[in-house]
C-alpha cells in the first residue's frame, strides 16, 4: 500500500468489520441506521468545525505524505471521514457490548464516576486555560457530563462507561497509528504548547477525553432518537 493512503486505510479498516457485522441476523444493527446516521451527523458538524478552527490555529495538523491530497477547506478528506467511520464503529461497539454483557454499573457508581470526571475535567481545564486543546476539551466534556447528570438525568451513562472501556482498545490502536506508532512521522501532529505534553505512547492524553466527548455525543443523540420513537428492538 502506498503511504499516502495510510489515513484512508485507517478509516476503512475502522468501519469495515462493524459495518459487516451490522447485519447479524439475531440482532440487526442496520435496523437502527435511521437513528445512527443522525447521531453521527450532528456531532460531526460540530467537531469538523472545531477541527477546522484548531487546524487554522496550528494546534494540530496533518502530514501530507500519509494523505491522498484531497482537502475540504483546511481539512484532508480522511479527517472528515474519521468523524463518520469512528463514531459508526464505536456506537456499534456500544450496542454490541450492552447486548452481550448483561451486567450493569449501578446508579450509585455511575453518578460517582460522572461527578469525579466532571470535577477533574473542570479543574484541569481551568488550571490550564492557556492550553487550547486541554482547556476546550476538558471544559466541554465537564459541561456535557454535568448536563447528563443534573439536567437530563440520563439512564444510560453506566452503559456508556462500560462500553467505553472496550472502545479504548481499538482507540489506542487507531490513535496510536495516527500519532506515529510504527511509522516514521505522525499522520496527525500536535503543538505540545497547546496541550499537557503527556503522552500515552504516542497519544496525547487529551485525545482520550476528546474521544469520550465525541462518542458520548453520538450515543446521546442515538439514545434520544430511539426513546423519542419508542424503539424497543434488541441491540446487536
Can you give the three-state secondary structure of 120-144, one letter per residue? HHHHHHHHCCCCHHHHHHHHHHHHH
Give the three cell numbers for residue 171. Answer: 482507540
β-strands 71-72, 60-62: how paired? Answer: unpaired
> Which residue in this structure is represented by grid cell 469538523?
48
pLDDT in tens, 180-229: 999 999 999 999 999 999 999 999 999 999 999 999 999 999 999 999 87
Does the pLDDT value for residue 149 go beyond 80? Answer: yes
Does the pLDDT value for residue 76 go beyond 90? Answer: yes
Does the pLDDT value for residue 25 go beyond 90? Answer: no
Does the pLDDT value for residue 235 go beyond 70? Answer: no
Domain ranges, ordered by start, for the chain: 3-229
Q: Would you state the pLDDT for residue 231?
A: 57
Confidence grade of residue 102 (pLDDT, cut at 50, 70, 90): confident
Distance CA 53, CA 56 (A): 5
What is the pLDDT averaged over residues 74-84? 98
Confidence grade of residue 234 (pLDDT, cut at 50, 70, 90): very low
Give the three cell numbers for residue 48. Answer: 469538523
Q: Would you state the pLDDT for residue 158?
A: 96
Q: Would you state the pLDDT for residue 39?
A: 98
Distance CA 83, CA 44 (A): 6
C-alpha distance from residue 69 to each of 4, 8, 59, 66, 225 (Å):
8, 11, 20, 9, 36
Distance CA 44, CA 235 (A): 23
Does the pLDDT value for residue 178 go beyond 80? Answer: yes
Amino acid at each position: 500500500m502506498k503511504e499516502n493512503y495510510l489515513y484512508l486505510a485507517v478509516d476503512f479498516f475502522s468501519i469495515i468489520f462493524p459495518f459487516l457485522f451490522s447485519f447479524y441476523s439475531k440482532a440487526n444493527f442496520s435496523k437502527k441506521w435511521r437513528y445512527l446516521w443522525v447521531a453521527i451527523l450532528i456531532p460531526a458538524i460540530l467537531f469538523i468545525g472545531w477541527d477546522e478552527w484548531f487546524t487554522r490555529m496550528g494546534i494540530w495538523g496533518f502530514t501530507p505524505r500519509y494523505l491522498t491530497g484531497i482537502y475540504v477547506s483546511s481539512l484532508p478528506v480522511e479527517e472528515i471521514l474519521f468523524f463518520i467511520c469512528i463514531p459508526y464503529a464505536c456506537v456499534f461497539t456500544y450496542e454490541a457490548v450492552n447486548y452481550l454483557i448483561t451486567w450493569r454499573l449501578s446508579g450509585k457508581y455511575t453518578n460517582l464516576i460522572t461527578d469525579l470526571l466532571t470535577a477533574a475535567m473542570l479543574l484541569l481545564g481551568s488550571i490550564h486555560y492557556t492550553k487550547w486543546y486541554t482547556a476546550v476539551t476538558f471544559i466541554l466534556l465537564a459541561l456535557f457530563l454535568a448536563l447528563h447528570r443534573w439536567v437530563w438525568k440520563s439512564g444510560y451513562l453506566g452503559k456508556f462507561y462500560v462500553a467505553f472501556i472496550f472502545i479504548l482498545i481499538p482507540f489506542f490502536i487507531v490513535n496510536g497509528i495516527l500519532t506515529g506508532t510504527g511509522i516514521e512521522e505522525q499522520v496527525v501532529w500536535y503543538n505540545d504548547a497547546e496541550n499537557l505534553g503527556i503522552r500515552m505512547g504516542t497519544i496525547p492524553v487529551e485525545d482520550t477525553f476528546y474521544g469520550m466527548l465525541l462518542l458520548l455525543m453520538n450515543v446521546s443523540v442515538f439514545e434520544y432518537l430511539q426513546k423519542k420513537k419508542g424503539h424497543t428492538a434488541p441491540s446487536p
